[in-house]
Homo-oligomer: A and B are copies of this chain.
């Protein structure tokens, strides 16, 4: 059987994150960088050079040119969030598969415009939430799915915080109302919300209630916030996200029989080995002077970075569509939309004075 040809990526803009994803594409056998576009040809040329792009890569002075290139299969869109809807919709119309950075849209209405266009044009959609593709994630999920070891899920907590320096807090896209109005909620909060949905098998909560005490910058962009989520069956979750606190990337999932903890879920401390911790059947020792057993560490070793696993998965889906006539996989649009719905609900709850907001797909 002939090996499928690699998915040909066109990169829409020279964002910092595009450097990481470009490296991942280069590391992934079934993907290749076909084109890069920026608002000026000079910027695109410099970026291609700095990032060691193959000499075959086409360099364009506009995003449109990338989308018009028939040798581009995939539009990777790391533009500021407020520009996603315009460029993702156009990409889909031009029959490009869409890999878009998170937060994917300013609200679910915008996201739906993207998703509808992808669906009607038969192209694959995925948001670039890289940790979803780390092999550790699937191994952790096996534990959560094991009714003997983990039992029934009762409680999830997730945190993603990092300390933005003064330059970040002044000039980063993520703190600009006109570029990424969701601030820390859309950036760090996106991951924590996805983590909660991942742990709960993507069952949407009944209600979402923001925690009191979010912080905003002068432009009204969220710099820190949290929320609690609850489900009809009694499951409860909470998260906290911030640009104002030293880095933490935690998921803690508690079941009736076991717990899972991970402290670097968004980006592993090390690229090639990722730990997580499980414990099951915890009990008090005699006289309750000890607890048995202590959690045990498991390490997942990988030979590609997690973002390369993402590119590989996306390229596989593109290959299936291009060469085997498969339909786009609906899993990724669905979980992206659910994540956006919860983001929107948290924002709505903050805006309505921390009242609960119902979440309906």
Q: Chain A residues in contact with chain B, CB under 8 A?
A: 16-17, 19-20, 23, 151, 154-155, 157, 159, 161-163, 207, 209, 211-213, 215, 224, 226, 228, 230-231, 234-236, 238, 240, 242, 244-250, 252, 254-259, 261, 263-264, 267-271, 279-284, 287-295, 305, 307, 354, 356
Contact = CB atoms under 8 A, between A and B. Distances in A.
Contacts of A224: 154-155, 234, 236
15 contacts: A17-B288, A20-B288, A155-B159, A155-B224, A155-B240, A163-B257, A211-B238, A228-B228, A236-B240, A245-B255, A246-B257, A246-B280, A246-B281, A267-B289, A289-B305
By Cβ-Cβ distance, the 9 closest A-B pairs, closest first, are A247-B282, A213-B230, A269-B294, A211-B228, A154-B245, A213-B236, A245-B254, A212-B230, A20-B287
A226 B246 CA distance: 24
Contacts of A230: 211-213
Given A163-B256, A255-B245, A212 B356 contact: yes
A26 to B, nearest CB: 12
Contacts of A16: 288
Contacts of A258: 246
Contacts of A255: 245-246
Nearest to A257: B246
A234 B212 CA distance: 9
Contacts of A288: 16-17, 20, 267
A161 B155 contact: yes
A254 B234 CA distance: 28
A240 B157 contact: yes
Contact of A212 (B157, B228, B284): B228
A282 B70 CA distance: 43
B246 A264 contact: no
B213 A244 contact: no
Given A162-B282, A228-B238, 19 more contacts: A19-B287, A20-B289, A157-B238, A157-B240, A159-B254, A163-B256, A209-B211, A211-B238, A215-B234, A224-B234, A224-B236, A245-B254, A248-B282, A267-B284, A267-B288, A267-B291, A269-B292, A269-B294, A289-B305
A267 B257 CA distance: 19
B211 A155 contact: no
A294 B246 CA distance: 12
Nearest to A232: B213
Nearest to A277: B263
B161 A254 contact: yes
Contacts of A235: 213
B238 A238 contact: yes
Contacts of A236: 211-213, 224, 226, 240
A246 B215 CA distance: 34
B249 A291 contact: yes
A211 B207 CA distance: 11
Contacts of A246: 151, 254-259, 279-282
